[in-house]
Amino acid sequence: MQEFKTIEVDTDLLIIGPGMAGSGACVEGAHWAKENDVKITVVDKAAMERSGAVGMGLSAINQYQGENTPVDYLSYVRQDLMGLCRDDLVMDISRHVNGSVHMFEKFGLPIWKDPDGNYVHEGRWQLMINGESYKAIVAEAAKNAVGMDNIIERVFVVRLLLDKNDKNRVAGAIGFSVRDPEIYVFRFKACIVCAGGAVHVFRPRSTGEGLGRAWYPPWNAGSSSYLTTTAGAEMTSQEVVFIPARFKDGYGPVGAWFLLFKAMATSATGFNYMAEGLAEGGELHNWPPYGEVKPIPTCLRNHLMMIEMYKKGDGPILMHTDKAIAKIAEQAPDEKAYKKEMKKLEAEAWEDFLDMTISQAVLWASKDVFPEEGPSEIMPSEPYFIGSHSGASGAWTSGPEDIQTDESKKEYFWGYNRMTTVKGLFAAGDGVGVSSHKFSSGSFTEGRIAAKAAVKYCVDNPDKPEVDEAELDKLKELVLKPLKHYEEHKALTTLGTTDKKYALPVEEVNPNYITPKMAIFRLNKIMDEYVAGWGSMYNCSKTTLDIALHLIKLLKEDLSKLAARNLHELMRCWENVHRVQIAEAHTRHKLHREETRWPGYYYRTDFPKLEEDSWGKVFVNSVYDAEKNEFTMRTRPIIHLVDIKEVVGM
């Protein structure tokens, strides 16, 4: 195994993961850092221009307040999450997000305008954009703000380091280059973790040559959750997953079709399950109060789909793109105008995919699908962990002081906005729990909020924490262990070595190690079959969850036998370690919440009902002790800062 050199990086504030949240942290943090002589460093396991969830582009900005109030937006978020959100965090983003969107426009992002110069809305909160280069545009502004000399790309952060003298204070981080034989050691006063959500914890629907295709970015490996969890930060709502219903196989977006084109989805036989679910005596009335008020929560819309697909056998679910396009075009005054409008609508339909899900456009083209001629299948995906969308998992953080009540301040504020329960450790984007529906613009805004607070923390705490050098040396060995393990045992593999390859493709078997690909398959199988993946029709119970915890325990033991042939596989090994940690946390949280709060995301078959009077009043939280490898489960109260009189829709 080749020798690795250690590169030391000394800074004040480290931003881990410059996606949309991290880019917002760069822009805002740089402003306050210059005023207060604070040094900011940014680290990205990829290249900043296209890293994060928006790397492939987007066709809409999904959070723009316009003339709506923060209370309006809170009503929408609280409704969609079946009551589970932190009012202070949601309203904090809401009151600042307009400014972020106006920043994007100044950066050069093309936002659609009508003939009068007003933004074109897809829905109440959504703005249409030409967003293929959305992330590249925002990243350029972020780079200019912090300076290229302060950005380190292609370095994967494995773990955070705690202060030698205060185990509840963060002091540094360790990682490695995915391009060169280098270990990176970061020392700092504070850091912001915004390293995305988690994909491929559950078995994906994509298989064979499509393996790796997912709705959310496949490189999101749960690093935000792992870094904060293993540092000892309190985590919240890890039981909440998001299951988007998207166009089948390509995971293409449906938002523009529902909101802009007003398309309708039905069962295979044409049954309008949404209308029937809302009708008097319909299924949605079994889930009060959320099923009785529009907009219908995302999970309940999924629930109605699943009844048609799994219980009635009336699948697949069809999106009637042809009827939606025709209905709009029919408003044209004559045949010539009709043809022109049809052509325009077809172009907009394809643009929606080309801006953010090119694979869906390629898939439709390869299957001779013409959206103006017939319907297309939509399908619920595998579960994802994404605190920035219709999920809620992430770190339990302090909120803003100025909008707390006397009651909430005791529970929701401890000094610095978006700081976790570990001193100096901040989070944003998918890293923060129960501040859902922030999407790209809200994540950028939350990054701005966290960065301003983190800079203040650095100013208020000028003394540098001390890293335990003995622990650091052990971690250096641990980081490189998969490479060493491969070198020691590669001779017994059936696949050959880096020096000698077999001519024919064969499956690799080695009695001494596990490859990262086989490890992720093993995790996927456990989660899919026992923790409510699509293979089990999203069902689980105490029995299946206990089986999963036993199998995850065995898998965690075997992770010490992971082997990597090169730096890329070393990254894949550690991504799997991160995924397994959030998988265990998710399973324990799901076991602790004894109800079915999000039908359509998952079902506790042993607790099949919504228990609003008990579980509807608390968040499920946990703290992980890395030394003991133990979780402590607890609940925190849901404290409403405002009384919602009316839910504002989409």
Residues 27, 140: one domain? yes
What CA–CA distance (Å, rounded) separates 21 from 17?
Answer: 8
Last residue of a domain, one of 312, 346, 380: 380
For residue 575, the model assigns a pLDDT of: 98
* 65 belongs to a structural domain: no
For residue 308, the model assigns a pLDDT of: 96
Take residue 572 and report the two structure tokens written for it: 């894949």
Residues 231, 152: one domain? yes
Residues 437, 449: one domain? yes
For residue 501, the model assigns a pLDDT of: 60
Residues 390, 353: one domain? no
Catalytic pick among 80, 122, 411, 584: 122
User: Is 246 annotated as catalytic?
Assistant: yes
Residues 538, 482: one domain? yes
Catalytic pick among 23, 62, 224, 388: 62
* 69 belongs to a structural domain: no
For residue 14, the model assigns a pLDDT of: 98
Residues 424, 325: one domain? no
Residues 266, 356: one domain? yes
CATH number at residue 568: 1.20.58.100
Residues 12, 38: one domain? yes
Cβ neighbors of 68 (< 8 A, separation 6 or more) are: 124, 125, 648
For residue 331, the model assigns a pLDDT of: 86
Last residue of a domain, one of 315, 349, 380: 380
Catalytic pick among 224, 388, 436, 440: 440
Last residue of a domain, one of 430, 460, 490: 460
User: Is 122 annotated as catalytic?
Assistant: yes
For residue 312, the model assigns a pLDDT of: 96
Catalytic pick among 125, 215, 219, 534: 215
Q: Among positive and negative, which fits the CA dihedral 267, 269, 275, 278? A: negative
For residue 256, the model assigns a pLDDT of: 79
* 82 belongs to a structural domain: no
User: Is 169 annotated as catalytic?
Assistant: no
Catalytic pick among 352, 382, 528, 575: 352
Q: Residue 586: which domain range?
A: 477-614
Cβ neighbors of 488 (< 8 A, separation 6 or more) are: 512
User: Is 286 annotated as catalytic?
Assistant: no
Pair type for strands 40-44 and 151-153: parallel
Alpha-carbon distances, residue 407 vs 236, 395, 640 (angstroms) = 19, 21, 10
Tell which residue, 367, 391, 393, has the closest CA to residue 247.
367
**Helix extents (H) in 357-400:** 358-366
**Helix extents (H) in 63-120:** 70-80, 87-94, 97-107
User: Is 209 annotated as catalytic?
Assistant: no
For residue 503, the model assigns a pLDDT of: 61
Contact 568, 529 (CB under 8 A): no
What CA–CA distance (Å, rounded) separates 527 from 325?
Answer: 40
Query: Three-state SS for 284?
Result: helix
Q: How many structural domains comprise the chain? A: 3
Query: Three-state SS for 392?
Result: coil
What CA–CA distance (Å, rounded) separates 71 from 641?
Answer: 10
Residues 509, 368: one domain? no
| Strands (DSSP E) found in 350-484 | 376-380, 394-395, 425-427
* 578 belongs to a structural domain: yes
CATH number at residue 303: 3.90.700.10
For residue 500, the model assigns a pLDDT of: 63
For residue 497, the model assigns a pLDDT of: 63
- Residue with the two structure tokens 């390293």: 195
Mean pLDDT by 10 residues, the chain (650 residues): 95 98 98 98 97 93 96 97 97 98 98 95 92 97 98 98 98 98 98 98 90 90 98 98 94 84 93 94 96 95 96 96 88 86 82 85 90 93 96 98 97 98 98 97 98 98 97 98 96 72 69 95 98 98 98 97 96 98 98 98 98 97 97 98 90
For residue 340, the model assigns a pLDDT of: 87
Pair type for strands 155-163 and 166-177: antiparallel
User: Is 629 annotated as catalytic?
Assistant: no
For residue 344, the model assigns a pLDDT of: 84
Residues 168, 274: one domain? no
For residue 375, the model assigns a pLDDT of: 94
